[in-house]
Structure 1
Amino acid sequence: MIFGAILAGGTGTRMGNIEKPKQFLLLGDKPIIIHTIEKFYINNSFEKIIVLCPKNWIKYTEDLINKYITNSDSLNNSDKIEVIEGGNLRNETIMNAISYIETNYKLTDEDIIVTHDSVRPFITHRILTENIKYAAEYDACDTVIPATDTIVETKDNKFISNIPNRKNMFQGQTPQSFKINKIKTLYNKISDKEKHMLTDACKIFSINNKKVFLIEGEVTNIKITYPHDLKVANSILKGY
């Protein structure tokens, strides 16, 4: 089975003085998160879509989904989406999704979870399809685009310590997709200290010396983090 996990646990502090988390801001005539969920919802590969958000925003998220998606669906697939509480950290949120899956489904070693930022609303069908395909083949995959700028490394935030070859550098996007039993096993192997230091789910594989397959992303698959990003996203939306 294929599960989607849309990570909406952030509060959007970098977006500035806003009254609600950034995933609920309007992009065009719909909230950002709705654009994202729709891309998963119309993809028939997904058995279940799990949306993970702060506890006090669960009812609000459910109401948005009912308003924009399930109430307008003539096929009445309202049970395809479930909204649950996320964790304090990104990987805790993913593990909450996995716990939900374990509780409600009989897991096999072939089951896959496709994790995606709720504020990347321009995810394409091609990227989703390739994530599913290569997670099945390689256990884990990450969506990336080639770095276009020179990458500069510093160890003290004052002076350059290294300038790696740009040909070997990529910028990470999402989705990141995994065989569920595999990521759970590897996550349980790492220490609590490592768990709290991790900001990227693929790191769970790399620190366990496991390979992660790279999938080509798209420059339009942007993450809306700052006010400028929302302006860019509205421009992209107009061009669709």
Structure 2
Amino acid sequence: MEAFEINDKIDAICVVCIKEWQEDLSIWLKEYDIRKVRWIAPAGATRQESSLNALDAIKESCTDDDYVIIHDAARPMVSQRIIDENIEKVQKYGACDTVIPAHDTIIRSLDDEHLNSIPLRKELYLGQTPQSFKYAVVRKAYDDYFALEEDKRPEMTDDCGLVLSHGAAKVGMAFGDKLNMKITTMEDLLMIKSIIRSAR
């Protein structure tokens, strides 16, 4: 949250948090002097539900022309450059994803046993966050998605995928950083702690 707190282009923050952690979150906001948090939205059962809850929380304060930046709390090393580039690209295109080039060969398998295809590496990027959107673009994409019967909703892994499938805007690319890694495993957490210690 501090990365967004100190960025002068960010007006307000909405945090999506499970109910059991909201009291602790309020304590941390005071402890770390995070003043831009105006909303705490409940976490949903899926990423899409959590994003929709956040969009619902801020809707009375947003115009269609405002911009929304969605970021994973599990990526604590986001830089000011990445945030600024997201803002620049979302203003240009209406939607923006943070990416880094894929340096390893990506294998596609449909059965976990055999290779089905090997896409050209020069065409592949790894998605990160933030993902940024004009409010009207992401709002309509989510409203249309949740208007579908649950079993008719396509499987989506992130917000840009949903907006891209909706065709509501071109999705520009902001370049991320290997340090903007996602903490998924204990090994990831240990690596992040090591990076933070070495930077002190």
Cα deviations across residues 190-227 of structure 1 (Å, max 9, x unaligned)?
Answer: 33335462221111122123421111100100111111
User: For residues 184-199 of structure 1, what are the structure 2 equivalents within 5 Å?
Assistant: 184-190=139-145, 191=148, 192-193=150-151, 195=153, 197-199=155-157
Matched, 1:100 2:57: yes
- Structure 1 letter corresponding to 2:94: D
Match of 2:92 in 1: 137
CA positional deviation for 1:80: 3.9
- Structure 2 letter corresponding to 1:63: I
SS in 1 for 2:141: helix
CA positional deviation for 1:157: 1.1
Q: Is the 8 A contact 1:47 1:80 kept in 2?
A: no
The percentage of counterpart residues that share the same residue type is 35
Match of 1:68 in 2: 32
Cα deviations across residues 164-215 of structure 1 (Å, max 9, x unaligned)?
Answer: 0000111110000101111111222233335462221111122123421111
Matches of 1:65 and 1:145 in 2, distance apart? 31
Indicate which of 156, 169, 189 corresponds to 1:230. Answer: 189
- Structure 2 letter corresponding to 1:211: K
Match of 1:202 in 2: 160
Indicate which of 158, 173, 183 corresponds to 2:113. Answer: 158
Q: Is the 8 A contact 1:224 1:230 kept in 2?
A: yes
- The count of corresponding residues between Structure 1 and Structure 2 is 195
RMSD over aligned Cα, in angstroms? Answer: 1.6
Indicate which of 80, 91, 97 corresponds to 1:125. Answer: 80
CA positional deviation for 1:130: 1.0
CA positional deviation for 1:61: 0.9
Q: Is the 8 A contact 2:12 2:37 kept in 1?
A: yes
Matches of 2:42 and 2:184 in 1, distance apart? 21
**Unpaired segments ≥5 residues, structure 1:** 1-36, 71-77
Q: Which has the higher strand share?
A: 1
- What's the TM-score once normalised by structure 2's chain length? 0.91
CA positional deviation for 1:119: 1.5
Match of 2:8 in 1: 44
Q: Is the 8 A contact 2:137 2:163 kept in 1?
A: no
Match of 1:90 in 2: 47
Matched, 1:56 2:20: yes
Cα deviations across residues 131-169 of structure 1 (Å, max 9, x unaligned)?
Answer: 111112111100010111100001111100000000011
Matched, 1:221 2:180: yes
Do the aligned partners of residues 164 and 235 (structure 1) sit closer, same or farther apart at CA in structure 2, a change above 3 Å counting? same
**Unpaired segments ≥5 residues, structure 2:** none
- What's the TM-score once normalised by structure 1's chain length? 0.76
Match of 1:212 in 2: 171
SS in 1 for 2:39: strand
